[in-house]
Amino acid sequence: MPDIGHIVNTTHVGELDGIAGADAHLGRPMPYPKAPLPLVRWSRVHAISPDGAEIEWNLDDTREGAPGRLALYAGFAPPPHRDWPGDDPPREVAVGDGRGTWREAELLEAEPSLRPAVELSWHAHGWELRLTGQGPWEPTQLLAIAASVGPS
């Protein structure tokens, strides 16, 4: 069954020891969302490339209609390419004061809390950023989370 792990973590360089590990890998503090997130059950932090890291939040999806996961990539270069299961082309959206690209994939075979998948990529604060949500997120909620990402 498709899972955000197959979408988010396709090119691991290695597991990192939490946010401090991401800070060390990047050589400066990893940015993260200031907007509130749903209840997190557990998280993982990965080096995705030599100059990028990703935090994966696995959310409490025990209530009907709750999203299952969220991930944030931050790096000095765009994240490595990954296969995307959707056919629709990306569209441009406003992210705070900037612009980003948004793409979606239905993932009909996945559990309800893990579909659809949404990927939002943008540049802010000197970072290349990508927010990946899986589950029934409201688009405005993902855009608000993205707009809140900033220096820690």
Name residues whose C-beta falls within 8 Å of residue 29's C-beta, 6 or more positions apart in sequence.
23, 151, 152
Mean pLDDT over 114-131 rounds to 96
Average pLDDT over residues 67-92: 93
The predicted pLDDT at position 11 comes to 56
Q: Which two tokens stand for residue 107?
A: 């993932």
| β-pairing verdict for 91-95 and 40-49 | unpaired
Straight-line distance from the first to the last Cα atom of the chain, in angstroms, rounded to the nearest whole number:
35
Shortest CA distance to 48 belongs to which of 88, 76, 86?
76
Calpha distance 88→114 (Å, rounded) = 19
Of 91, 77, 88, 86, give the one whose Cα is nearest residue 139. Answer: 91
Helix, strand or coil, per DSSP, at residue 5: helix
Tens of pLDDT, residues 16-37: 999 999 999 999 999 999 999 9
The fraction of the chain above a pLDDT of 90, given in percent, is 82
Helices and strands, number each (H, E), in the chain:
3, 8
Instruction: For 67-82, give the DSSP string.
Output: --EEEEEEESSPPPP-
Rounded average pLDDT over 3-18: 66
9 vs 132, higher pLDDT = 132
Which tokens belong to 3?
């899972």
Q: Report, as an integer, the average pLDDT of 47-67.
A: 95
Please say if the pLDDT value at position 39 is more than 90.
Answer: yes
pLDDT of 2 strictly over 60 = no
pTM of the model: 0.91
**Domain boundaries, given as residue ranges, for the chain:** 4-82+110-148
**Mean of the pLDDT values across residues 83-100?**
93
Please, what is the average pLDDT of the chain? Answer: 91
Mean pLDDT of 88-111: 94
| 8 Å CB contact between 141 and 28 | no
